[in-house]
Structure 1
Amino acid sequence: MKSLAQMPALPMMIAAMLFIGAAHAQEPGEAWTLSQGGKLYDNHWLVTGKPAPVKRNPDYPADVKALPADTWRCVSCHGWDYSGKDGHLGKSRKPPIFASLRQAAGKKFADLKTAMLAPGHRAYVAALDEGSIDALARFVSAGQFNAGKLMPGGRSVGDAVAGREIFEGACISCHQADGKAFIEGEAGDQPALGWVAKNRPAQALHKIINGVPGADMLSLRFLPEQSRADLLAYLQTLDDSVD
C-alpha cells in the first residue's frame, strides 16, 4: 500500500478531504451542545455520571431551604423558565432572591463563561470539566426559550392537533397514549405528562427541548420552536388524573 507521500497529488487531496470530513462529522453540532448544556442546567451529576452531592453548595444562600443536592442545580436558583425571581420561583420562594438569566440570552459565550468562573459559582463550576462548562455557557447564551412568548399564563400558544402528530411519532412508544408511562419526574410531580404539562409547563418544555438527564429520552431541540409549542399544547390536553 502506498503512503500518502507516494500517492499522486489529486488522490492524495481527495484522501485528505475525506479524512477532514470524517473528523468533522464526529464533532457534536450545535443542537447536541445546547441540549447537553440544558441537561447540565437541570442536573449535572446525572449527565456526568458522578455521585450526587451530599453536602450543601457553599455558594448557595444559607437562609434558603433546599435539599443539599438541589443546591448544586442551576434550575434551583434560576428556574425552568430561566427567570429566577422574575419567574415561577419568585412566586414560590420567599424572599425571591435569585437573578434572572433571560438578559444573558444572546450574549457572547466567552463573556458568560467568564461570569460563570467568577465568585458565586466557583464551587459549582469546580464540579464540571471544561467541556461541560462550555456547553452550559453556550446553553445560557443560545439555548433558552421565552416562556412569556410560548406559554403566557402557563398555557402553550401551540396547536394541539399538530402536537398530537409529534407525540405519536416521537413520544408514544415510551409514554403510551395516555402519557402515564415512564415518567422521569421531579419532586412533587404526578406520574402523568398531562399533569406536568398543565402544572409545571416550563419544566415540561425544558425537558422536551433538552431531554432528561440520565435517561434515554429524545431531545427535540431539532424541531422548530412552533413545533415544540405544539407538542406542549397537546400534552396539556392529556388526562392529568392519577390513580
Structure 2
Amino acid sequence: MTHSRNGNLFFLIGLVVSLSASMVFADDEDRDYSHGEDAQEFVHGSPETISEPWLLAAGGRIYDNWADALDRELPESTHPAYPASSKQSGSTTWRCKECHGWDYRGAAGIYRDGSHFTGIKGIEGAIGMPEPAIAALLRSSVHGYTPDMISDDEMPRITAFVTRGQVDVSKYIDLSNRAVIAGDATVGRGVFQTVCAACHGFDGKRLDWGEGDDHAYVGTEAAAAPDEVLHKILSAHPGVEMANLRAFGGDIAADVLAYLITLPEK
C-alpha cells in the first residue's frame, strides 16, 4: 500500500515491535507497564548509527517524561520553577509537557486554563534556535536538568526535538476544544491495522489504562486528549516497547489519530 504523502508507507510494517512478556493487556490486574530485559536496548538504548527520525522521537519521549524515557527516577519534590498558584505538585511538575503542553504552546494553547494551567509560555518560539542555546536553557537554574537527569550524551535528543521536531498541532486539532479537524481515517485504518494493532488489537481495546469498569482504551484517550495521543503516535510512549511514526511525519500520524477517534471508548 502506498499513499501520496509518503510513497514508502508500506515499510511501516517493519516498525512493528514484538510484545514483551510483561506488556499489559486489558484484563491484567496490576497494569504495570514494565518491560523485559530483552527490550531494554530498544526502550532505553540508542542505535549505533542514529537516524534523524530516531533522534526526534527520542527527544519527544524525553519531553513527555524524561525519567521513563531514560530509565531514571523523577524527583519527588515539586519543581522549584513551577508556579505555587498552579494545581499540580510533586514529580509530574518535572515533565516538560506539564508546563509547555502537548501542543507545545503552553499558556497560549490547550493549557491556557484548567488543571494544567501555569501561565508559562510554550516552546514553539524555540523552533530553529541553536541547539547549544537550548541545552544551556535546560541546564540553567530555571529548568534545572542536571547531567544526572539528562546526560550530556542524551541532551542532543531533546534539543533536536525542540528546535526541529515540533509539529504544528493546530493543523490537526482545534486548540479551542480539542476536536480533531484533519486526517484521513481510511489511510489511518490501514496503518493502525498493520502496525498499531499488534499491541492495541484491531478494536483498540487490548490495552487498558483505566481502573475497574472505568476503561481507558486508545480510542478513549484519543477522544479525550488527541494532542497527547498525536505526540505519542509520533514519538511513542516513554519507557515501553512501542513503535512510532516519526519517520513518516505529522500528516500520517494525523491519519492514524483520525481513525483512533472512531474506535470504541468503552
TM-score range (shorter-chain normalised) is 0.7 to 0.9
Equivalent position of 2:76 in the other structure? 54
Of 130, 134, 137, the match for 1:112 = 134
More helix by share: 1
Within 5 A, what are the aligned runs for 1:55-74? Answer: 55-74=77-96
Distance 1:94 1:40 in 2: 19
Higher RCO (C-alpha under 8 Å, 6+ residues apart): 2
- TM-score using structure 1 length: 0.81
**Which ranges of structure 2 fall in alignment gaps of 5 or more residues?**
1-46
Give the partner amino acid of 2:243.
L
**Which ranges of structure 1 fall in alignment gaps of 5 or more residues?**
1-24
**Does 2:234 correspond to 1:209?**
yes
> Any conservation in 2 of the 1:156–1:229 contact (CA below 8 Å)?
no
Equivalent position of 1:181 in the other structure? 206
Could you say what secondary structure the match of 2:113 adopts? Answer: helix
> Any conservation in 1 of the 2:219–2:264 contact (CA below 8 Å)?
yes
Could you say what secondary structure the match of 2:247 adopts? Answer: coil
Equivalent position of 1:83 in the other structure? 105
Task: Summarize the Cα distance change of 1:139–1:224 in structure 2 as closer, same or farther, 3 Å threshold.
Answer: closer
> Any conservation in 1 of the 2:61–2:237 contact (CA below 8 Å)?
yes
Equivalent position of 2:49 in the other structure? 27
Percent identity over the alignment is 32
Of 127, 131, 155, the match for 2:153 = 131
> Any conservation in 1 of the 2:169–2:227 contact (CA below 8 Å)?
yes
Distance 2:126 2:215 in 1: 32
Distance 1:191 1:209 in 2: 20
Equivalences, count: 214
Distance 2:117 2:236 in 1: 31
Task: Summarize the Cα distance change of 1:124–1:67 in structure 2 as closer, same or farther, 3 Å threshold.
Answer: farther
Distance 1:58 1:65 in 2: 14
Offset, 1:117: 2.6
Distance 1:172 1:94 in 2: 31
Per-residue CA deviations over 1:7-45 (Å, capped at 9, x if unaligned) read xxxxxxxxxxxxxxxxxx822111111111110111111
Distance 1:235 1:158 in 2: 11
Distance 2:135 2:73 in 1: 24
Per-residue CA deviations over 1:163-205 (Å, capped at 9, x if unaligned) read 00000111112101111222468xxx95211121111010000
Offset, 1:141: 0.7
Equivalent position of 1:228 in the other structure? 253
Equivalent position of 2:197 in the other structure? 172
Offset, 1:61: 2.1
Aligned alpha-carbon RMSD (Å): 2.1
Distance 2:72 2:151 in 1: 12
- TM-score using structure 2 length: 0.74
> Any conservation in 1 of the 2:209–2:217 contact (CA below 8 Å)?
no
Give the partner amino acid of 1:158.
G
